[in-house]
Structure 1
Amino acid sequence: MPQTPTGLPFDDIRNLIPEMLGPDTAAVKVVREREAHLTKPAGSLGRMEEIVEWLAAWQGAQRPKVTRPLVAVFAGNHGVTDQGIAPFPREVTHQMVANFAAGGAAINQICIAYDLGLKVFELALELPTGDITIEDAMDEKTCAATIAYGMEAVAGGIDLLAIGEMGIGNTTIAAAIMHGLFGGEARDWVGPGTGLNAEGVARKAEVIAKAVARNKGALKDPLEVLRRLGGREIAAMAGAILAGRMQRVPVIVDGYVATSAAAILYAMDPGALDHCLFGHVSAEPAHRRALEIMGKRPLLDLGMRLGEGTGAAMAMGIVKAAAQTHDGMATFADAGVSVSE
């Protein structure tokens, strides 16, 4: 979607879009040539083979490896929880961040199981974003600075990034973003989140409809959608995805909330997500709808809806296995296996 420069903080983000790196097609060619000589029938590893090509394209590596994977979890709080759209208070966000630090969350265990790095980025939890039914979530300066902060998650020589989040009320924020970007009715984008009943889901839809209607006429610019309807953790995840593209670090996107961050970039340029793998489809009903609109095929469908990067981390284990299989498997010549011409 074309954007008009304003001279304001968002211009720094807009200017990065035309500078995004493309895939390394030479690396993909080398991977395909090696794949044809590995000790297995052609195509027998199915999507695992596609994953290796994807890694090669976006790492720019002829023998792609995953040796420094990172799961980055971004945590933020939301003023819209004042509208009674979440069954838990905002304090739970801070408590869960402490649980991450103590190693007691689901994401900690998955990272241990697959030998993944984990960093948690706490985003001003004591200062919730504005209640989007009555005010903008953030001003432009704050939103742009938070995107830039998220870009720092890619620092340190990592070779594969998974993004996840924690934030009470953020499925409401994700649904508002999706409604603002892709239209339809508010109820099309709403689900139970962390456990709302039917009455709670209906209330959530009303809140989202009000927030989007309040901004009618200002939602053609995806960055305006983000700052008006979004959250700090979502802005930071968008920054992390963008930095991955600029630094040749492939990205695995988690569930519905993480996908709402990706959707902002998709609305700016559909090719902005070519370096992303969507780790799973969430049990949150509208996640599948969003993926279909963007033409993205999730790797896993496990009925998960926890967040925390858990689905992306599960997918990261598969990506690691794909890379190791391609790199470590013998060729027919190496193994002395005869093949007919």
Structure 2
Amino acid sequence: MNLDRQNQALQTLISSIQPADAAAMTSARERQSQLTKPARALGLLEDLSVRLAGIFGSDRPHPRGVAVIVAAGDHGVVAEGVSAYPPEVTPAMVAGFTASTPYGTGGAAVNVIARTVGAKVYVADVGVNAELPAHPALESVKVRMGTRNLRVESAMTAEETLQAILAGSEMAGRAIVEGADLLIPGEMGIGNTTAASAITARMLGASVESVTGRGTGVDDATLERKRQVISDALNRDASQVGDPLGVLADLGGLEIAFMLGVMLRAASERRAIVLDGFVEGSAALVGVALAPNLQDYLFPAGECAETGHAAQLAHLGLTPLFNLGLRLGEGTGGVLAAPMLLSAAATLREMQTFAEASVPDRE
């Protein structure tokens, strides 16, 4: 697909994202006020249920399947020594996502948690800097063997960026056809918090120090080097906040672009999107800048331990569901949040009203 056709496909996807159903949310709020509980007794779950009503167009929303789509990609910037782990970890972790274990496919944290809550795991190689063996649990949509070094040049071309976005959209579409109503973009890629910090600094106009954390747990010297690398990348002035796709191509990662595609497709199909952490948040910043209606479909899992995540959530107007100090990635936090969202929808859908239960209402 050439660049013009890629751009056209993306614009079609963006234009298909409609706002949440206001009438369904109004009806859901009215129903909430009649359920057998004191007003606001379910707290944030009530707000979540109303938002889900708006997404699914019903005051009795019934989301069912949960899918986490883990995109793997490498980053040329790791050559600058910004991570505590070598890039060889990325293909090794992909092997872990697809490994056969006594408990089922996959031995990584996201696999274990997904099995526990009944979520399906999809794994995509969008830019791992290694030739990975074919595996039935691995989708190969490799755009290139890792990104370029963002310190000295743009990480991706416009065409590569669009190719990764559209690959994410296609995989999200497959997950939806296979029953997913809650989609969780996840990622694996050594160096990706460097890219996410650079995107966040540019999109929010924030200082590098305020949005750059320790990622894989780097020491003080490496953290300072990481911040300098990001500053150098920003000082190239190769992208501006008014061109979100340009920012993504300049500073991002292939897996970040892929996750953006997952989000855009999910919203276009009126499905809920659960955001895991900081790297996913960087994709969401670009996504909402491109398609403001996307914001209606985003549900943050927890505030992760990575510096800058709180600023992302504040900009997006999202309240995290928990704070467990998570910073693993893979979509783990998003999978943990899925049962909360399903429960929120179930309370709105299945609880009796005071009239139905013949319970005296408050005066």
What is the TM-score of this pair, normalised by structure 2?
A: 0.87
Q: Which moved more, 1:296-305 or 1:163-172?
A: 296-305
Task: Provide closer, same or farther for how the CA distance between residues 293 and 29 of structure 1 changes in structure 2, counting only shifts above 3 A.
Answer: closer
Q: Which moved more, 1:118-127 or 1:329-338?
A: 329-338
Residue in structure 1 matching 2:119, options 106, 116, 121? 116
> 2:302 matched to 1:284?
no
Distance in 1, Cα, partners of 2:190 & 2:33: 48
Residue in structure 1 matching 2:36, options 39, 42, 45? 39
1:335 matched residue in structure 2? 357
Query: What does residue range 317-328 of structure 1 map to in structure 2 within 5 Å?
Result: 317-328=339-350
Task: Provide closer, same or farther for how the CA distance between residues 330 and 184 of structure 1 changes in structure 2, counting only shifts above 3 A.
Answer: closer
Q: Which moved more, 1:113-122 or 1:262-271?
A: 262-271
Cα contact 2:158–2:249 (8 A) shared by 1: yes
Distance in 2, Cα, partners of 1:134 & 1:9: 26
Distance apart, 1:218 and its partner CA: 4.8
1:138 matched residue in structure 2? 156
Task: Provide closer, same or farther for how the CA distance between residues 151 and 8 of structure 1 changes in structure 2, counting only shifts above 3 A.
Answer: closer
> 2:58 matched to 1:55?
no
Task: Provide closer, same or farther for how the CA distance between residues 11 and 220 of structure 1 changes in structure 2, counting only shifts above 3 A.
Answer: farther
2:247 matched residue in structure 1? 225
Distance in 2, Cα, partners of 1:219 & 1:159: 32
Give the alignment's Cα RMSD to 1 decimal. 1.9
> 2:316 matched to 1:297?
no
Distance in 2, Cα, partners of 1:10 & 1:219: 19
Task: Provide closer, same or farther for how the CA distance between residues 219 and 332 of structure 1 changes in structure 2, counting only shifts above 3 A.
Answer: closer
Provide the identity percentage. 39
Q: Which amino acid in 1 is paired with 2:192?
A: N
Query: What does residue range 1-341 of structure 1 map to in structure 2 within 5 Å?
Result: 9-10=6-7, 12-14=9-11, 16-102=13-99, 103-125=106-128, 126=130, 127-155=145-173, 156=177, 157-216=179-238, 218-339=240-361
Deviation digits for residues 42-72 of structure 1 (CA, Å, limit 9, x no counterpart): 2210110111111110122331122111111
What is the TM-score of this pair, normalised by structure 1?
A: 0.92
Task: Provide closer, same or farther for how the CA distance between residues 7 and 96 of structure 1 changes in structure 2, counting only shifts above 3 A.
Answer: closer
Structure 2 gap ranges (5+) = 100-105, 131-144
Distance in 2, Cα, partners of 1:258 & 1:147: 13
Cα contact 2:18–2:293 (8 A) shared by 1: no
Distance apart, 1:134 and its partner CA: 2.0
Distance in 2, Cα, partners of 1:162 & 1:172: 21
Distance apart, 1:124 and its partner CA: 3.0
SS of residue paired to 2:127 = coil
Deviation digits for residues 69-123 of structure 1 (CA, Å, limit 9, x no counterpart): 1111111111111111111111111111111222211112221222212211221
Cα contact 1:76–1:233 (8 A) shared by 2: yes
Structure 1 gap ranges (5+) = 1-5
Q: Which amino acid in 1 is paired with 2:205?
A: G
Distance in 1, Cα, partners of 2:240 & 2:47: 39
SS of residue paired to 2:180 = coil
Distance in 1, Cα, partners of 2:77 & 2:71: 18
1:3 matched residue in structure 2? none
Cα contact 1:59–1:159 (8 A) shared by 2: no
Distance apart, 1:297 and its partner CA: 1.7
Cα contact 2:70–2:122 (8 A) shared by 1: yes
Cα contact 1:10–1:140 (8 A) shared by 2: no
Distance apart, 1:296 and its partner CA: 2.3
